Structure 1
Amino acid sequence: MPHSRLLAALVACVALGLISVPAPAPAGAAPPDDNKKKQQEIEATVAKGLEYLKKTQAQDGHWEAQGGQYPTSMTALAGMAFLMEGSTLKEGKYSDQVKKAVDWFLAPARQQPNGMLGDVRNPSEQVRYMYGQGFGTMFLASVYGEEEDKEQREKLEKLLKKAVEFICKAQTLKKHRKAEGKEMDIGGWGYVSAAEGNNFDEGSVTITALQGLRAARNAGIPVPKENIDKAVNYLEACTTPDGGIIYNYLGEGALRGQERPPLTAAAICCGFSAGQYKSELPKRWLKYCKAHEETFLAKGRQAHDEYQTYYFGQAMYALGDTKYGAMFPDQKEKDKWLTWSRFKDVYFPQILNNQDKSSGAWEQGQVGPVYVTSINLCLLQLEKDLLPIYQK
């Protein structure tokens, strides 16, 4: 058949659908081989990081920061890294590490009648035990949600109910008058309970406690609605006209110029974990992040604040690559949306490059390698989508 007739026949077959033609790759999309190579690099990095945490777990099941600090928070965060890998109390490559961590929390010597998870005999926890209360509740709730053994579930349920009760009793209670004159109850959390801390509260502990409560509620543990409502009201009261979150509530309107980007990113994450994609408050926080994009998504920047990266990453994962456009339909330039893909493009290369390839740890920051390693492993494993607290 002449070439021209062959070409005409092929065109006709394509038009009739008898022959399919692969769709062209989107402009700027990485070739499949590049994506596969990147994924393999991520998986190798995660494997090294998890092995580091496995090797550094204490015999009794806990982890700690530098100088023996914050064992409750570190054990919870490291435990989350193994849960996100897919291991549980009964199954998976790291089930032994998960079990040892849970047993550490359940040890009779650690049980306290009031539900406190931290150990005030440790100087670092004596003055900041509410961080461990929030992170510990989140970890134990995530374990409980997947646990099928009746006896173990009963132990975890009892501990979680007490832990939730402790968080709720530790919440501050204040009155805030909104600009239009309406008064509302607000309540945050400080480094210690409201009773011990003279009713002091601040944003980072508030968000940690709130995420712990939501993880517990996701797992079926009763959480009073009023405590969550007061916490959301607290974050609203701490939001400036520009949409940023200030450090703590001072009894007056949140003033411009006092915003804390890490707290704002963390607030978005909490809003999204409750499914609040359409409410006004998360939109205000997102607008602040968008207006200060250089703080969050500057390529080539060395992320100096692991806390900000941890929560901003969760928020961007919840957004995915399309929800920002649905929330802000007037913004037509898709390449300027806040998205999970943009977060990955900026942060994943930094995370991969900053790992110590011999030990598998990340050693940046002042808290210590267990903290940074656990946070980076969380971010690198979000796409596995295994735990309800991190799911979209």
Structure 2
Amino acid sequence: MRTHPARLAVLAPLLLILLPSITAAQDGSAWPFGTTGRVSMNAKDDWNLGIIGAKARDADTEPPPPARGGRRQVARLRPAERGDPGPKRLLIEILHPEGPGKKAGLQLGDVVYGVNKRPFTKGCLDPLAKALVKAESGKGTFVLNVERDGKKIKVTVDVGKGGRDLAKPTRGKGRRYIFDQALAWLAQRQDEDGGFSQTLSSHTGAVVQASLAGLAWLCDGSDLQSGKYQSQIQKAADFVIRYVDKRDTMGGLTNRGGANWNQSNWGYVYAAIFLGELQVRSPTGKVKVQLQSIADAIVKHQEKSGGWAHGPGGPNALDYLELNIVTGLALSGLGSAKVAGIAVDKDCVKRAMKYLAQSGSGDGGVAYADKAGQKGQGNIGRTAVAWLGARNLGLGKSPWGLKMGRYVSGHAGDVLDGHASLQLHVFHAGVAAHASGSGATKKFWAKLQRDLVLARAPDGSLQPRPWHETLSMGTNSDVSFGQVWTPATWAIVLGCDAKAIKGAGLPVWLGKSKPRR
């Protein structure tokens, strides 16, 4: 049996900042996070400049020191109060070795202060994204305004002529192009055993990453019987089945300091979503048996309150238990399993829905948990994944299910109201928006198209970004989760709607599949 010493357990968002940095040889400029070797929690949290192949930090603000342990208090500024314009000047820290930026002569230490002769007077994100879309769908080039060694120069970047379709990157052939690039990137990096080397995990996180990649390839139309990514899906499924039940604690640390570091629920819930979709698409006895076992484990791990924790075993290192991002994922996992013909405990589901309603906000938003200081403040990431699960469990039209549905429809693009992992909220909100309908989908892409454009990289991957919480903490969960997390989740958002990409999509998770018997 193969072990995975380079995979350190997937760290749940709040616990992530507690561990010391994982050893990594640092030269400060290695693509994509400024480190080489193992994933490092102190990797650089830089702004990705789209397919230019460059990453930069705010040139006018010193970054906070990297988090090396202990719990930090984070200033929680709501987007409506602070906006999200990005820096006005970008200090280049990382260059893709084969990217258009490096080929154009962009150098480490350059400060980009504008595009096409216009300075970033109100922030860089919108004008840079618009310039990238215009260039790639048009003549292929644009000009960066750069300061180097005290002098102002112009750097003409050639991103290539991608064609008119890329003028609409979230629709039609443009969307399909970005989706296809992400799938190919994932396939190139899958290990022979079905997992991924660039994973922050030993078992749990490796199962999460394999499940997400599997879901992305399923979107394309491949399954266990046929398709371009048939072999990749088979290997991913085998990997998940092999490792999902392996006991795994954070970083392989068992009861470190007497605390409970069990994170296994994350592996179970994402495995259930993947294998549920797979079993409906191309049923096998092996997958069905494992899916029933996973569903039983999820039910068994439910806390007495009705919610779920990172894993069983009592309060974690921060002395709390439930968190509703896992509760929502548990419902999604159980819902996908039920559609695949798996028996799911009804009382467990009722307790979970009651817990969500008791801890949530009156408008249907799912809050962090039910304790003082945690309840009553809903956000889209938690609500989206809980609502997706409730629908497949036959509770989409229950009073709380309807409230969650209205919340998703009204807040589909409000991902910056999330917590800990921005990409987690982008991921869940994007899938739920496509399940909700065209109104929610439009709201989602109205705010997230820019981020999609800037997330792209010249190698076909998609990269994480900083946001107000990570910039105040000095660490970014989406960076620490490794190179697979962001491309896989963006690919699922792009591919989950079958009509949008003319593929198979994810009809089970989106609530569009009839239950198997």
Relative to the length of structure 2, the TM-score reads 0.55
Q: For the Cα contact (< 8 Å) 1:239–1:245, is it kept in 2? A: yes
What's the secondary structure of 1:369's corresponding residue?
Answer: coil
Report the structure, 1 or 2, having the larger helix content.
1
User: CA shift at 1:55, angstroms?
Assistant: 1.2
Return 5+ residue gaps in structure 1 as ranges: 1-31, 175-186, 322-337
Q: Which has the larger radius of gyration?
A: 1
Aligned mates of 1:386, 1:35 — CA distance in 2? 22
Counterpart residue number, 1:378: 492
**1:191 Cα deviation (Å)?**
0.6
8 Å contact kept, 1:189–1:202: yes
| Aligned-partner SS, 1:127 | coil
The Cα shift of 1:372 comes to 1.0
Question: 2 CA distance for matches of 1:221 and 1:200?
Answer: 28
Q: What does 1:188-203 align with in structure 2 at a 5 Å threshold?
A: 188-193=307-312, 200-203=321-324
Q: Aligned equivalents of 1:221 and 1:368: distance in 2?
A: 32
Structure 1 equivalent of residue 507 of structure 2: 387
1:302-321 alignment, distance < 5 Å: 305-321=422-438
Measured in 1, the distance between the counterparts of 2:310 and 2:172 equals: 39
State the distance in 2 between where 1:312 and 1:36 align: 18
Does residue 266 (structure 1) correspond to residue 385 (structure 2)? The answer is yes
Question: Out of 334, 337, 352, which is 1:231 matched to?
Answer: 352
TM superposition shift of 1:202: 1.3
Q: RMSD in angstroms over aligned alpha carbons?
A: 3.4
- C-alpha distance in structure 2 between counterparts of 1:168 and 1:82, whole Å: 28
- Matched residue of 2:484: which SS? helix
Distance 2:421 2:230 in 1: 32
**Residue 268 of structure 2 aligns to which amino acid in structure 1?**
Q
Correspondence for 1:165 among 267, 273, 296: 296
Distance 1:92 1:68, change over 3 A: same
Partner of 1:51: 184
Structure 2 gaps of 5+ residues are 1-163, 255-260, 466-477, 499-504, 513-517
Residue 231 of structure 1: how far off its partner (Å): 1.1
> Which residue identity does 2:342 align to in structure 1?
I
Corresponding residue SS for 2:367 = coil
**Cα deviation digits, residues 294-317 of structure 1 (max 9, x gap):** 83599xxxx971111222222221
List aligned pairs for 1:65-76, cutoff 5 A. Answer: 66-68=199-201, 70-76=205-211
State the one-letter code of the partner of 1:52. W
Question: Structure 1's 128 and 199: CA in aligned 2 closer, same or farther, altered over 3 A?
Answer: same
Larger relative contact order (CA 8 Å, sep ≥ 6): 2
- 5 Å matches for 1:1-392? 38-63=171-196, 66-68=199-201, 70-107=205-242, 110=243, 116=245, 119-120=248-249, 123=252, 127-148=262-283, 153-174=284-305, 187-193=306-312, 200-250=321-371, 256=376, 258-274=377-393, 276=395, 278-285=397-404, 295-296=414-415, 305-321=422-438, 338-364=439-465, 365-366=478-479, 367-384=481-498, 385-392=505-512
Deviations 1:279-338 (A, max 9, x none): 33244345656776883599xxxx9711112222222212213xxxxxxxxxxxxxxxx5
Cα 1:340–1:60 change in 2 (3 A) is same
Partner-residue secondary structure (3-state), 1:193:
coil
For 1:82 and 1:293, locate their aligned partners in 2 and report how far apart those are by CA, in whole Å. 24
Deviation larger for 134-143 or 238-247: 238-247
Per-residue deviation at 1:277?
5.1
The question of whether the paired residues in 2 share the 8 Å contact of 1:56 and 1:63 is answered with yes
The number of aligned residues is 317
The whole-number CA distance in structure 1 between the counterparts of 2:351 and 2:198 is: 32
1:343 is displaced (CA, Å) by 1.9
Bigger drift between 258-267 and 86-95 goes to: 258-267
SS of residue matched to 1:240: coil
Counterparts in 2 of 1:309 and 1:274: CA distance versus 1, 3 Å: farther
Instruction: Assess if the C-alpha contact under 8 Å between 2:333 and 2:389 holds in 1.
Output: no
**How far off is 1:135 after superposition?**
0.3
CA–CA distance in 1 between the matches of 2:206 and 2:247? 8
Q: TM-score, normalised by structure 1?
A: 0.70
Matches of 1:74 and 1:272, distance apart in 2: 25
Note if contact 1:238-1:253 (Cα within 8 Å) is conserved in structure 2.
no
Partner SS, residue 222 of structure 1: coil
Name the CA distance, whole Å, in 2 between partners of 1:225 and 1:136: 20
Q: Tell me the alpha carbon deviations over residues 58-102 of structure 1, each in whole angstroms, 9 at most, x when there is no partner.
A: 121112655446111111111110111111012000011001111
Check 1:389–1:99 CA distance in 2 against 1; reply closer, same or farther (3 A cut): same
Residues of 2 paired with 1:43 and 1:156: CA distance? Answer: 29
Query: Offset of 1:156 from its aligned partner?
Result: 1.6
* Amino acid aligned to 2:422: D
Contact 2:223 2:233 in 1 (8 A): yes
